Structure 1
Amino acid sequence: MSGHSKWSTIKRKKGAMDAKRGALFAKLSRAITVAAREGGGDPDANPALALAVQKAKDANMPNDNIQRAIDRGTGAGSEASDYEHITYEGYAPGGVAVMVEVLTDNRNRAASDIRYIFSKHGGKLGTSGSVAYLFERKGVILVPAEAVGEEELMEAALEAGAEDVELDGDHWRVTTEPAEFMAVRRGLEEAGIRYESAQLSMEPMNTVKLDASTAKQTLRLIDALEENDDVQEVYANFDISEEVMSEVAG
């Protein structure tokens, strides 16, 4: 599992996201509204909306909230038309490559905020294309290792169209091409296989190993970016050993 995935899993287990549920729901609502505005309000005919809705459900967002967000997107004169998708690229301490996906109604504010966060935490905002080549878009589904045996998971995942299944620490990691992600997810659900998370991700093709000091700096930067209201996703190619991760998480 990539260092960023490990850190996200640790934060979920510690309940860090629950403490910020209101802010999380606001981000998810915005993504749903924009997806509905751009591609229509039917998830079956709008893959981007289907993904946004599923992500909201994974976060236990109430169905009423989800429907209101869709309605805002399909309503005449919706504020969703004011939002735009922007990807920022930069470097964290230790030369870690970072990609930041933003959904904002104010490009200037977003650029200023992201640049400030990078600078404050020892990083540097780069130019477009400076680190994107180090990542590739993949679907990633994490299944607790104790929840299912290798043979059962392998059969269900590969039959549904998964690219790979591998054991990574205490999780099975199911990787898919983006186009096959929803089908594989449904396949696991139909097989009764419980997963911990499922998302489209920018996966690093190589990683940068960090010591404890640099890891703490990098994780502070990642956390600060994720807390920004305009930021939807953050991806990074750091790798932190189990020992260092335990020290940092503690």
Structure 2
Amino acid sequence: MAGALWVPRGLCWVYSRRRITGMLLDPLCSYAPHSPLPTLPSLCQPWAPQPSRGVRVSSVLWAGHNKWSKVKNIKGPKDAARSRMFMKLAMMIRLAVREGGANPDFNVQLANIVEQCRSKNMPKASIETAIKGAEKSKGSAYVLYESRGPGGSALLIEILTDNKTRTHQEIKHILNKNGGVLCDGARYNFEHKGVVTAAGEDLEGRTVSLERALELAIESGAEDVRDTQDEEEKPLLQFICDVSSLRSVREALDSLGLRTVSGGQEFVACNSVQLSDSDLESASRLLEVLSDCPDVIRVWDNIQAMD
């Protein structure tokens, strides 16, 4: 119809009413613009916005955003730390195989590291791959760097690398940029010891006090004991002993009712240094950057926070 104004039938009052009464109507309803507009609601009325309520957007639209936020802010950092931990454990396996062979039955250090990997839920396939890879890659070299950190702290940096020159330059750059420096003499602040880690509760679920732990240390042949916490802030006991008596001390602690978690060789600080808050923050940042270096196995320090 020429000169007519077409109104979609979904907005047409007439169409809606005739549909209820069963009358057929064309897809569009129209009226002539030159004729006066009707005053009764018997014909189509020009469309005008009506009062309406706000519509709540469904949470489904934002579900992906919220999920990604959780993954990025919670799961992401945890997965990154977990992956980095597995990488360091694999490097420790390579070092143990390099020094004592690939058979855990004849390599105590490797057996202790494998058990530590299992306690950290490292996949069995990853452990086996690390052992086989260590047998094939004989070109890696072990290096122990001595350095000074913020506030006069001493650091020992264990390295496993296939390019000593590149790693030396990288470690030197990290230290210089974060308040540290390579130097000789830091090694004398540490002793190479065996450390057996046990849970803070015995096999019957009772908390082991530090006084009782000292008694157990004497009975098992350990030299000292210290209390600490794991990543989940659960109490742990670390029994320090000579490297040669590591296995016997662990077996004795098991027989005395403790639940040992791991055992291995560590550099234990014999001379500790207390740092101020500012130096402690700088040292923490330095340790974090060093740990992120792919060639670094472990970093030992003699830092003690001020009370």
| TM-score relative to the length of structure 2 | 0.63
Per-residue deviation, 1:42 = 1.3
Q: Does 1:111 align with 2:168?
A: yes
Aligned-partner Cα distance in 1 for 2:301–2:98 = 29
Structure 1 segments unaligned to the other structure (5+ residues): 1-14, 243-250
Ranked by relative contact order (alpha carbons within 8 Å, sequence separation 6 or more), the top structure is: 1
Structure 2 segments unaligned to the other structure (5+ residues): 1-75, 202-206, 230-234
Aligned residue identity for 1:57: R
Partner secondary structure for residue 258 of structure 2: coil
Larger Rg: 2
Give the corresponding residue for 1:207: 272
Give the corresponding residue for 1:9: none
> Aligned residue pairs: how many?
222
CA shift in 2, pair 1:241/1:145, >3 Å: farther
Per-residue deviation, 1:188 = 2.9
What's the C-alpha RMSD, in Å, of the aligned pairs?
2.8
Aligned residue identity for 1:73: A
Contact 2:250–2:260 at 8 Å: present in 1 too? no
Give the corresponding residue for 1:132: 187
Per-residue deviation, 1:105 = 1.1
CA shift in 2, pair 1:22/1:173, >3 Å: closer
Report which stretch shifted further, 82-91 or 42-51: 42-51
Q: Does 1:22 align with 2:83?
A: yes
Report which stretch shifted further, 218-227 or 166-175: 166-175
Q: Does 1:68 align with 2:125?
A: no
Partner secondary structure for residue 284 of structure 2: helix
Per-residue deviation, 1:176 = 1.0
Give the corresponding residue for 2:204: none
The structure richer in helix per residue is 1
| TM-score relative to the length of structure 1 | 0.76
Report which stretch shifted further, 186-195 or 211-220: 186-195
Aligned-partner Cα distance in 1 for 2:257–2:78 = 26
Give the corresponding residue for 2:139: 82
Aligned residue identity for 1:32: I
Identity %: 35
Give the corresponding residue for 2:179: 122
Aligned-partner Cα distance in 2 for 1:167–1:22 = 27
Per-residue deviation, 1:143 = 4.6
Report which stretch shifted further, 28-37 or 212-221: 28-37
